[in-house]
Structure 1
Amino acid sequence: MKFTKMHGIGNDYVYVNCFKETVKDPSAVAKFVSDRHFGIGSDGLILIKPSDIADCEMDMYNLDGSQGAMCGNGIRCVAKYAYDYGIVNKTSISVATKSGVKYLDLSIRDGKVSMVKVNMGAPILQASLIPVVSEDEQVIDAPIEVNGQTYRFTAVSMGNPHAIVYMDDVDGLDIEKIGPSFESHVNFPDRVNTEFVRVIDRHTVQMRVWERGSGETLACGTGACAVAVSSILNGLVDRNQPVTVKLLGGDLNIFWDESDDQVYMTGPATTVFDGEIDLGFLGE
């Protein structure tokens, strides 16, 4: 199987061009290639497929083999791959995902994509659709008990569920302990991605993320979008202004245009290397 290793501010995936390749058991392949000791090393596997409704389709799998709905950093890399490797020859493209068709604008430098702006769509705030168990229609600054301690969280979906928790210190957080407890909490029937956030000023926040199925990652694009929306809903940053979200892998620029209820994410996409791996033992 030929592949390309790519990352969006450290959120790395193995990408396969399914215009040319066939992956029979993507869950098993995802678990194998993601292993950082015995495989290639990544946060998961993303297949770039033909689509009847868009320029291409993104089919993603987490490192535990579970299928994901959407990945903001991943879709920027899909767009870069599609342009750089000749699937498309235009700078405004569409990508089909399990969370609907997303539209992307590409910035080109020296013939290659350097930055990608993604229309991530409208945030989902209705509790039953996120989904999160709640008697309220929206969950904003609500209490939740995790590991015997009460936290306050805001729930947002960007095609996948997010719980945003604000705190004074995210650097010292024992995320390996608290992250799994949030992910599998009974209030989140489909599990949840959890963002632990420190507000720096009225237009800048810092976050760490525990992603369902992957653990802590260096970046999460949908999470950064959810954090920006949550921070506006909680009155922690200015409305109608871009929010800089600082992640372990770098910064993302997020703008929630409330006039059309669309969230726009801008950030880099990077190709690491191309390779080929024998998956014969998996039956591939």
Structure 2
Amino acid sequence: MTYPFLKGHGTENDFVLLPDHDGSVHGDLSAERVRALCDRRAGIGGDGVLRVLRRDGGWFMDYRNADGSVSEMCGNGIRVFGRHLVEEGLADPSRPLEVDTRDGIKVLTFDGDDITVDMGAPKVLGGTEVSVPGHTWPALHVDMGNPHAVAFLDDLDDAGPLLEAPTHDPAVYPAGVNVELVVRRGPQHVAMRVHERGSGETRSCGTGACAVMVATALADGAPRGTAYTIDLPGGTLSITWTEDDRVLMTGPALIVARGTTAL
């Protein structure tokens, strides 16, 4: 059996999209199929899979990491999801779009090439630490629907190639964690690298960038409403933590290919 797919990315965090509005094509999407689709040599290639479902009259983003594991939320992915709906005429870009996720409903607004997502309220859960061979850094545990450990470094090269996940406290993160390594570039401006649980080091992570913004704003004592620029290997995101405790993430999203596959 063949079925349609699309390929898209948000700041080079790339995804395979599966239009499956009534859930009849993929049923309970298997981890094996997700791994096959995300394989960069034998498959289509991606950091994860976004399945496009209808649920209770609205849209639901069924997100899976590249290893087939289920994730609660994907910030870059939801922008790609929204771009797909607009390009297919399934959503009106002049109006806010609600998309349900495993972390609840997120609201997207469109402005040309950019999409802003209300990512909800962050949860700041205290200090921890992360390590790579030869280095250990204090980190802040920030939950953006999925768990993050944010560590500030003097130099991003200190971490070396993030082929393996940085070591973390399993008591703090029993289901694994996304680790963000951060350096300062200037006022309200940082750069980061990220190792995502289930996908490895990626070119970008939207929820991770939100966690980084929250950690940096807290370290700076910045007033709510201050916009931060977050540089990632794949591009730049703008993020604001509002007076009413919402994290707003703005960045691009593109659909770059479509076709059919038998994977």
Fold shared per TM-score above 0.5: yes
Could you tell me which amino acid in structure 2 is paired with residue 176 of structure 1?
L
Length-normalised TM-score, structure 1: 0.85
Provide Cα deviations, 1:198-257, integer angstroms capped at 9, x if missing partner.
011121000000000000000000000000000111127665310000000000000001
Deviation at 1:26, TM superposition (A): 3.7
Distance, in Å, in 2 between the alignment partners of 1:248 and 1:236 is 26
1:165 corresponds in structure 2 to: 151
- Is 1:189 the counterpart of 2:174? The answer is yes
AA at the equivalent of 1:260: D
Q: Kindly tell me: are residues 7 and 212 of structure 1, through their superposed partners in 2, closer, same or farther at Cα, counting changes over 3 Å?
A: same
Match runs of 1:53-92 below 5 Å: 55-91=58-94, 92=96
Structure 1: gaps spanning 5 or more residues: 109-113, 128-138, 280-284
Which residue in the other structure is 2:6 paired with? Answer: 4
Alpha-carbon separation, structure 1, partners of 2:161 and 2:256: 27
Cα distance, 1:180 vs structure 2:
4.2
Q: Partner of 1:181: helix, strand, or coil?
A: coil
2:99 corresponds in structure 1 to 95
Q: What one-letter code is carried by the residue in structure 1 that aligns with 2:207?
A: T
1:133 is aligned to: none
Aligned 8 A contact 1:202 1:236 in 2:
no
Match of 1:50 among 25, 44, 54: 54
Change over 3 Å in CA distance of 1:195–1:202 after alignment to 2: same
In 1, distance between residues paired with 2:111 and 2:50? 22
In structure 2, distance between residues paired with 1:202 and 1:178: 31
Counterpart contact for 2:49–2:65, Cα < 8 Å:
yes
* Cα distance in 1 between the residues matched to 2:17 and 2:249: 21
Equivalent residue, structure 1, for 2:141: 155
Q: 1:174 matched to which residue of 2?
A: 160
Count residues in correspondence. Answer: 258
Deviation at 1:164, TM superposition (A): 0.2
| Cα RMSD for the two superposed structures | 2.0
Q: Closer, same or farther in 2 for the Cα pair 1:177/1:218, shift >3 Å?
A: closer
Q: Distance in 2 between matches of 1:30 and 1:176?
A: 22
Q: After TM superposition, list the pairs within 5 Å mapping 1:100-179 onto structure 2.
A: 100-108=104-112, 114-125=113-124, 127=125, 139-140=126-127, 142-143=128-129, 149-176=135-162, 179=165
State the distance in 1 between where 2:16 and 2:30 align: 11
| 1:181 CA drift (Å) | 2.3
Q: Which structure 2 segments of 5+ residues have no match?
A: none
Offset at residue 17 of structure 1 (A)? 1.0
Q: Distance in 1 between matches of 2:129 and 2:194?
A: 19
Q: 1:190 to 1:107 in 2, by over 3 A?
A: same
Structure 1 segment 129-278 matched on structure 2, within 5 A: 139-140=126-127, 142-143=128-129, 149-176=135-162, 179-182=165-168, 185-235=170-220, 239-257=224-242, 259-278=243-262
